[in-house]
């Protein structure tokens, strides 16, 4: 019954907003939406080429895949009934999702895990697997880690590539700094790399600023992309990650979805623009402090211009549920990527 309701809702959305875009269908550019298991929102796929469903996890036995809310994953796949060209992938991992190190450490576990990924792809009718190990050799997320993780990550990607049938996608999410992975070795097995060019700081620093300014932290989006290119990833395999949320301090401490940021009272918070970083930010009127940094349609358009200029694969965003009801940011990403064809 839940699946039927999901489909009915999706069809209703599509009747209102999803028209066939021949140019987009024929394009090899990607616009990837991460859709979470814990949200109840059904995406309108009109402005999406790929859905990365978050998340699956390595099993406690280190040799298989466990999926959060599998019924919701089925609902994502059901959207292909109204947009057949839509690709739906399972993203395995996420911040704090562990057991990767143990799984990747042995040939037997890698093979069993890859075989189970194939089972999931076939059982759910998926288009591929996205690996979001955060991060090989790092225990910052409270997960186990080993110095051998980087080499074992390459072996894992090789095993997954062997297990997945021709035409199925294998991708990964990568930290902005391009650390932890030997891209020169691993890129041969990957269709593309989703760069998490966000979470690079919190206010008063930009967490996803395009270029370096006085408000930039240790790295910017441009520097992150170039770090991946210099590490061995061709531009045509790089996907520019964009946040649908802000990172705040002070009065707005924490993570704030874009849809909530634009509803803040303007007498208490004012939107400003860093024309060097090409990024918006919010200032608290009472204190004069920068309290939130984020992306908006203006900064997204500039990032999409960069995608076109550099010949990148496209854009992805985390996450769909952070957008407004009329899909302000999703439309901005789609128009920015596809209008450069």
For the annotated catalytic residues, the residue numbers are 134
Q: Are 302 and 227 in contact (CB under 8 A)?
A: no
Structure tokens at 146: 């080993």
Q: Give dist(CA 260, CA 323) in Å, integer.
A: 9
Nearest to 198 by CA among 250, 144, 255: 255
Nearest to 202 by CA among 247, 269, 250: 247
Q: Is 194 helix (H, G, I), strand (E, B) or coil?
A: strand
Beta strands at 245-248 and 254-257: parallel, antiparallel or unpaired: antiparallel
Which residues are CB-neighbours of 317 under 8 A, at least 6 positions away?
A: 32, 33, 34, 241, 242, 243, 244, 329, 330, 333
Q: What are phi and psi of 34, to 5 degrees?
A: -80, 125
Q: Are 53 and 90 in contact (CB under 8 A)?
A: yes
Find the helix or strand (DSSP H, E) in which 15 lies: helix 2-17
Nearest to 36 by CA among 11, 64, 68: 68
CA distances to 50, 58, 92, 109, 150 from 114, in Å: 21, 11, 12, 8, 17
């Amino acid at each position: 019954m839940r699946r039927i309701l999901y489909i009915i809702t999706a069809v209703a959305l599509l009747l209102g907003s999803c028209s066939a875009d021949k140019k987009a269908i024929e394009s090899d550019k990607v616009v990837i939406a991460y859709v979470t298991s814990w949200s109840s929102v059904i995406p309108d796929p009109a402005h999406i080429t790929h859905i990365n469903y978050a998340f699956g996890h390595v099993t406690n036995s280190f040799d298989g895949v466990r999926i959060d809310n599998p019924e919701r994953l089925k609902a994502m796949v059901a959207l292909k009934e109204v947009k057949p060209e839509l690709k739906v992938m399972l993203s395995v991992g996420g911040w704090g999702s562990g057991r990767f190190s143990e799984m990747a450490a042995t040939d037997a576990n890698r093979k069993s895990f890859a075989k189970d990924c194939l089972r999931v792809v076939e059982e759910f009718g998926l288009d591929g697997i996205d690996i979001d190990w955060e991060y090989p050799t790092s225990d910052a997320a409270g997960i186990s880690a080993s110095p051998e993780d980087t080499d074992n990550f390459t072996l894992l990607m090789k095993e997954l590539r062997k297990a997945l049938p021709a035409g199925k996608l294998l991708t990964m999410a990568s930290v902005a700094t391009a650390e932890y992975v030997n891209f020169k070795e691993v890129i041969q097995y990957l269709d593309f790399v989703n760069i998490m060019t966000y979470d690079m700081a919190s206010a008063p620093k930009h967490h996803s600023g395009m270029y370096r300014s006085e408000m930039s932290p240790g790295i910017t989006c441009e520097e992150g992309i170039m770090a991946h290119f210099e590490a061995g990833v061709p531009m045509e395999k790089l996907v520019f990650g964009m946040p649908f949320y802000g990172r705040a301090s002070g009065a707005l401490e924490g993570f704030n979805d874009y849809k909530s940021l634009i509803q803040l009272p303007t007498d208490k918070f004012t939107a400003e623009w860093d024309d060097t970083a090409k990024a918006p930010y919010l200032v608290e009127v009472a204190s004069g402090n920068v309290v939130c940094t984020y992306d908006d349609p203006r900064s997204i358009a500039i990032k999409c211009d960069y995608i076109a200029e550099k010949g990148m694969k496209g854009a992805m965003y985390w996450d769909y549920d952070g957008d407004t009801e009329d899909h302000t940011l999703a439309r901005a990403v789609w128009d920015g990527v596809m209008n450069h064809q």
